[in-house]
């Protein structure tokens, strides 16, 4: 019974980590909109120098919000083996994804809030992958 309680605690911990990522990505996006000139750039049809196509906006919404929120739900509902592997894979993916974004932020805009947000998401995504990797079957 103790092992089941520990497993349920781990699933809840993973879900909270995913909710943290969704919250930080949301805050990061909101803060980005507050930067002078960003809304004008978006109205002109570009986001971070890229054409603001429907596909780009959808991709950003999926990566920044939908996947972490879906993973919060899946972390408490999936069967153990699938749960472990999807958390390893997506936790590692997010860690790498945010490292890429962090590199881009440091070398281009260097907004301190973005760097802090990216570092915190990287740390939590790495924790997700680590906890899932150490998950005993």
CATH number (domain holding residue 30): 1.20.1440
**Neighbouring C-beta atoms of residue 109, cutoff 10 Å:** 13
Quote the number of domains for the chain: 1
Which tokens in the block code for residue 20?
């943290």
What's the number of CA atoms in the CB half-sphere (13 Å) around residue 121?
30
Percentage with pLDDT > 70 across the chain: 96
pLDDT at 4: 60
How far apart, in Å, are the Cα atoms of 45 and each of 30, 40, 50, 55, 57?
A: 18, 9, 8, 13, 11
CA-to-CA distance for 38 and 69, rounded, in angstroms?
Answer: 26
Q: Collect all residues with Cβ–Cβ distance below 8 Å to 94 and sequence separation of at least 6.
A: 21, 68, 121, 125, 128
What average pLDDT does this structure show over 71-96? 96
pLDDT band at 137 (very low <50, low <70, confident <90, very high): low
Query: Is 46 in a helix, a strand, or coil?
Result: strand
Give the residue from 13, 5, 14 showing the smallest Cα distance to 91: 14
**Neighbouring C-beta atoms of residue 132, cutoff 10 Å:** 22
pLDDT, one tens digit per residue, over 93-133 is 999 999 998 998 888 877 888 899 999 999 999 999 999 99
Selected residue with higher pLDDT from 62 and 68: 68
Domain that holds residue 44: 2-134
pLDDT band at 29 (very low <50, low <70, confident <90, very high): confident
């Amino acid at each position: 019974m103790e092992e089941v309680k520990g497993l349920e605690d781990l699933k809840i911990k993973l879900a909270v980590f995913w909710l943290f990522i969704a919250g930080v990505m949301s805050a990061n996006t909101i803060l980005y909109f507050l930067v002078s000139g960003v809304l004008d750039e978006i109205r002109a049809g570009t986001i971070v120098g890229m054409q603001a196509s429907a596909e780009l906006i959808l991709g950003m919404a999926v990566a920044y919000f939908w996947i972490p929120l879906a993973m919060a739900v899946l972390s408490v509902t999936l069967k153990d083996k699938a749960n472990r592997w999807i958390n390893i894979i997506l936790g590692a993916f997010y860690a790498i994804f945010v490292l890429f974004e962090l590199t881009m932020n440091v070398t281009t805009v260097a907004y301190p809030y973005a760097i802090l947000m990216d570092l915190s998401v990287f740390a939590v995504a790495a924790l997700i992958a680590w906890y899932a990797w150490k998950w005993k079957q």
